[in-house]
Amino acid sequence: MMRYLFRRLSHASLLVFGVSLLAFLFTTLAPGDYFDEMRLNPQIAPEALVALRAQYQLDRPLPLRYFSWLNSVLHGQMGFSFSYNSPVAPLLLVRAKNTLLLTITATLLAWVIALPLGIWSAERLGRFPDRLISVSTAVLLVIPDLVLALGLLVLAVRTGWFPTGGMASVDFASISPVHKIRDLAFHMTLPVAALVLSALPLLVRHVRAAVAEVLHAPFLLAAEGHGIPRGTLLLRYVLPAAANPLLSLFGFSIGALLSGSLLIEVVMSWPGLGPFLLEAILARDIYIVIGGVLFSTIFLAAGNFLADILLYWIDPRIRTENASR
Amino acid sequence: MASVLDIQNLQVSYWSREIRSRPVLSGVSFDLMSGEILGVLGESGSGKSTLAASVLRLLPPNGEISGGAVLFEGNNLLQADYQELRQIRGGRISLIFQEPSLALHPTIRVGEQVRQVLAAHQSSAKKELAERTREIFNRLFPEDADRIARSYPHQLSGGQRQRALIAQAIACNPAIVIADEPTAALDPVTQAEILAVFRSLREVLGLSMIFITHNPALLSGFADRILILYAGQVVEWGPANSVLQSPRHPYTRALFESLPPAPADSGKNRKQMLLVIPGSSSPTSLPRKGCSFEPRCPLKMDVCREFEPPLVKLGETHILSCFRYQ
Amino acid sequence: MEPILKVENLVKRYTKQNLVGVPQEFLALDSVSFTVSAGATLAIVGESGSGKSTVASCIACLETPTGGNLWFEGKNLAHAAENELRNLRPQIQLIFPDPASSLNPRWTILDIVAEPLVVQGKLSRSERMTRAFSLLERVGLSAEIAERPASELSGGQRQRLAIARALTLQPKILILDEALSALDCSVQAQIATLLIELQSSLGMTFLFISHDLAMAAYLADEIAVMSRGQIVEHGPAVKILQTPASEATRQLLAAVPQLSHAPQPAAQR
């Protein structure tokens, strides 16, 4: 088991490392840098710009800069932000917490809805309820996330039921803890709703397919033939057998929701990584951008690693397959 | 001796878009005596697996029982409601499916799979269920019972999986066990072992069994009565010795003559041709009226093409459906 | 007469790593030797795991032996180069046990039979079609169903199709690895009769691998009994079955289910 986990962990680490390298390469090779804006300002002398660039090591060769950045990561700083004049890590962490709050809530909620819906659909395969769900998910799939988010905002504006942006009301600091939670929940509703709606079609369809395949398996018919009650059949026979594809999908859904959240955050003014990264990209604050990409990758790899562990625990065939390697 | 299961005029059909309704069992009737082993002999397309599944109403969604009755302990199973049926399935009548590698759940230990069957029918405490499970495994796996109970299906051999299926079937001491080709996927040595298991279970537990197979040789010295199924109909049914030693129906006789001679007899009549029944029994080549076997029958008469043969009784216990014996 | 196939001290070892990293070895074939004369049928019987399918794979050049020699018409298959093997493989054809999964169900029957010719690339399309139709006729599949997909065939018809496809490139040796085991009894009789007829008219050599001793006895001139990767007995079929010398053979014989008496002619009207 240890060997399996170790192998999985080393894959994940290699992935993160590789992505960091590529991210670094792409952002630094893109034309322009943070100080380009200043060139337009006649009050700043060109020598000053050269000095600034040297100060921030922007004139050093690429490999040196990369190793210097790696060093900074190992020290917990992840590079330096030009705009904020501070190490990148603490800036990212604050925003990352907000993004994680959205993403994790949306992931859990999406699965809580998709599982029963997919199972229900699979049990009635081909009949009216299943077709209805298929059509609805197809429609949702086609609508771009942006349109979904804007649509929800319009709803908020028209009805006034939900705040139209931000994470906290103006008087947040002064209200009681219970009200604080309620306030947060209200602010989260729209972004989470947008994320869940964008992820649902994929999840529902895959759950439906995985469960439908198990429902027609001989061992299920055999269990039914032994008089096993329906509830037990579903929980102890169907779901564990469908776990394999579904757990892999779980790992993937975390990544998908994370990247979707960046866009939604920008639209709904949620103070997470999304708006922060956008701003940094526009300003060429490259270390923030690279840091953001790195963070997303780590989160995605962690999600997949979790799925791997769960799968190893649930499916004994993977254990013996690994034993024979 | 009382009859423990009574099947009357069972009619089952499958529905598909191309062929609409296709009859798979057309009026099958027989009964099973208490403590009897009934061998059901049939080749592919005869409807034998459909017969097994129909008793417990485990047909696929496109299968439909269009007529007849299945009488068990005073009830017609075809009209029982879901709760009654669930109690009977695995509790009073067990079905052992073909293909042991597919009939076991891939990610649940086999001991647990047997325990689940017990738990579905008995509301005993956990300890008692565990005790009973251990008892069953000790009976079927004289050595290694604990290790096997803790194993997953893919860690077991074909013979061991088959025994695990048998364990599930007898867990609740049912009155009847229906076994659908339980030895088809096994090599002869394991096959003989499994047959021995069934024999001993019959002696010790007093089970009544319906043993479905396509190989007549397996039923020799094992079944009490034999029923031959062809194209969804009973063509011959009688005491095993009588059917095996003097088969009457042209299909039964042709079937027995198409078997290669026993290895011990292979010295005589070397390379004598096996009797080949021309044609096939696939659904598309069945005649629309008259006797289903008529196109391939070496003894056919004109009347066979026009009318369905009646059921003829030879002596007290031997029944067949053929014009030749009227 | 020089035998068409000579297996000499064939060894096949499988290795796999276990959890700790220590390689575990499994000896599937432990110095197997036998010869087969041209036009004859050799049956290889044994319980599961005895190595009979491994022998088949090695002879059909699907696996490379770990040791030993495989002489086919004077050439050593165990040590042949890949391009030599490519020429030799078509002469030794293998029929698999499961008719359902060894043929592509979506292809038409005609396409399946003609495929080896397409790959070989020597005949024109009309020549290939003619050849395919004549092969189908040979194995008893009527021309009317030639355009139907393979999924519509019954088990027996699929094995006929597999045999037809195997015959396309005019092989010298046909290996039947449990080819009849999945079929109904009466269908087995049909295919067995077809095989006997093909052998007498085409002069082919058959290797019949099975655990069905009765059918092996019926089809074969010689029988080799395998147990745990070794041949424990080899000789004329009749002699082995009536006077078995090894425990393995006795066990196999004892396990064969038989009708207790041959059917007697029933008294008819």
Q: pLDDT of B76-97, one tens digit each?
A: 999 999 999 999 999 999 999 8
**pLDDT, average across residues B221-225:** 92
Q: How far is A168 from chain B (nearest CA, A)?
A: 47
Cα angle A118-A109-A126, degrees, rounded to a multiple of 5: 10
Contacts of A55 (CB under 8 A, 6+ apart): none
| C16 neighbourhood in chain A, CB within 8 Å | 324-325
User: Looking at the complex, does the CB of residue B101 fall below 8 Å from at least one CB of chain C?
Assistant: no
What pLDDT, on a 0 to 100 scale, did the predictor assign at position A41? 75
Q: What is the pLDDT of residue C223?
A: 92
Greater pLDDT, B121 or A78? B121
| Tokens linked to A42 | 């006649």
Chain B CB within 8 Å of residue A227 CB: yes
Residues of A in contact with C19 (CB under 8 A): 3, 322-323
Domains of chain C (ranges, CATH numbers): 5-255 (3.40.50.300)
Amino acid at B85: L
**Is residue C259 pLDDT above 80, yes or no?**
no
Shortest CA gap B195–chain A (Å): 21
Q: Average of pLDDT values for A144-167?
A: 85
Q: Is A325 in CB contact (< 8 Å) with chain C?
A: yes
d(CA B133, CA C78): 51
- Tens digit of pLDDT for each residue in C126-153? 888 888 888 888 888 888 888 888 888 8
Tell me if chain C has a CB within 8 Å of the CB of A320: no
Q: Which of B54, B56, B107 to mutate to test the interface with A (most CBs of A within 10 A)?
A: B107
Kindly report the nearest CA distance between residue C122 and chain B, in angstroms: 36
Contact B10, B29 (CB under 8 A): yes
How large is the average pLDDT for residues B224-240? 93
> For residues B81 and B95, what is the distance between their CA atoms, to the nearest angstrom?
19
Over the stretch B185-220, which tens digit does the pLDDT of each residue have?
A: 788 888 888 999 998 888 888 889 999 999 898 998
What was the pLDDT predicted at B113? Answer: 95
User: Which residue did the predictor score with more confidence, C153 or B38?
Assistant: B38
Distance from CA of C87 to the nearest CA of B (A): 35
Contact criterion met (CB below 8 Å) for A166 and A270: yes
The pLDDT value recorded for residue A117 is 93
Q: Which chain B residue is nearest to residue C216, measuring alpha carbons? A: B263
Contact A221, A202 (CB under 8 A): no
Q: C16 and A3: CB-CB below 8 Å?
A: no
Q: How far is CA B54 from CA A83, B63, B259, in A?
A: 76, 9, 30
- B34 burial level (CB within 10 Å; 0-12, 13-18, 19+): middle
Which residues on A lie below 8 Å from B119 (Cβ)? 232
| Domain extent listing, chain A | 2-87, 95-283+297-315
- Chain A residues in contact with B80 (beta carbon < 8 A): none
Top-ranked range on mean pLDDT: pick from A114-123, B255-264, C100-109: A114-123
**CATH code for the domain defined by B3-261+273-317:** 3.40.50.300
Task: Considering only residues A263 and A41, tell me which one the structure prediction assigns the higher pLDDT.
Answer: A263
What pLDDT is attached to residue C185? Answer: 85
- Is any Cβ of chain C less than 8 angstroms from the Cβ of A2? no
Which of the four pLDDT bands, split at 50, 70 and 90, describes residue C18?
low
Calculate mean pLDDT across residues A253-267: 88
| Assigned CATH topology for domain A95-283+297-315 | MetI-like fold (1.10.3720)
Q: Which pLDDT band holds residue A325 (cuts at 50, 70, 90)?
A: very low
pLDDT digits (tens, 9 = 90+) for C155-199: 888 888 999 989 988 899 999 998 888 888 888 888 888 899 888
- B273, closest residue in chain C (CA to CA): C193
Average pLDDT of the residues in B5-10: 94
In angstroms, the CA A257 to CA A240 distance is 24
For B112, name the nearest residue in chain A, comparing CA atoms only. Answer: A236
Q: How many CB atoms lie within 10 A of CB A282?
A: 8
Q: Is the dihedral of CA A12, A14, A15, A17 positive or negative?
A: positive
B256 backbone dihedrals φ, ψ, rounded to 5°: -65, -35
Q: Of B105-119, B145-159, B270-284, C222-236, where does mean pLDDT reach its minimum?
A: B270-284
Q: Residues of B with CB below 8 A from C192's CB?
A: 260, 274
Q: Are C254 and B192 in contact (CB under 8 A)?
A: yes
Alpha-carbon distance of B258 to B254, in angstroms, equals 6
Report strand pairing: C173-177 vs C205-210: parallel
Residues of C in contact with A312 (CB under 8 A): none
Task: Return the percentage of chain A with pLDDT > 90, whole number.
Answer: 26
- Chain C contact partners (≥3 CB pairs within 8 A): A, B
A324 at the C interface (CB within 8 A)? yes
pLDDT in tens, C79-101: 888 888 888 888 999 998 877 77
Q: Which residue of C has its CA nearest to A324?
A: C18
The whole model's pTM is what?
0.82
Q: What is the mean pLDDT of chain C?
A: 84
What residues in C contact A323, CB-CB < 8 Å? 18-19
Mind telling me how many Å the CA of A4 is from chain B's nearest CA? 19
pLDDT category, A161, cuts 50, 70, 90? confident
Residue B96 CA to residue B164 CA, distance in Å, equals 10
- Those of residues 197-236 in B touching chain C at CB distance below 8 A are 214-218, 220-221
Tokens of A253: 């859904």
Task: Tell me which chain A residues have a C-beta less than 8 angstroms from the C-beta of B116.
Answer: 223, 226, 228, 232, 236
Encode C213-262 in three state secondary structure: HHHHHHHCCEEEEEECCEEEEEEEHHHHHHCCCCHHHHHHHHHCCCCCCC
Nearest chain A residue to B52, by CA = A225
Percent of chain B residues past pLDDT 90, beyond the cut = 47
Residue B177 confidence class, pLDDT cut points 50, 70, 90: very high
Rounded to whole angstroms, how far apart are CA atoms B151 and B158? 13
Examine the pLDDT at B114 and tell me if it is beyond 90. Answer: yes
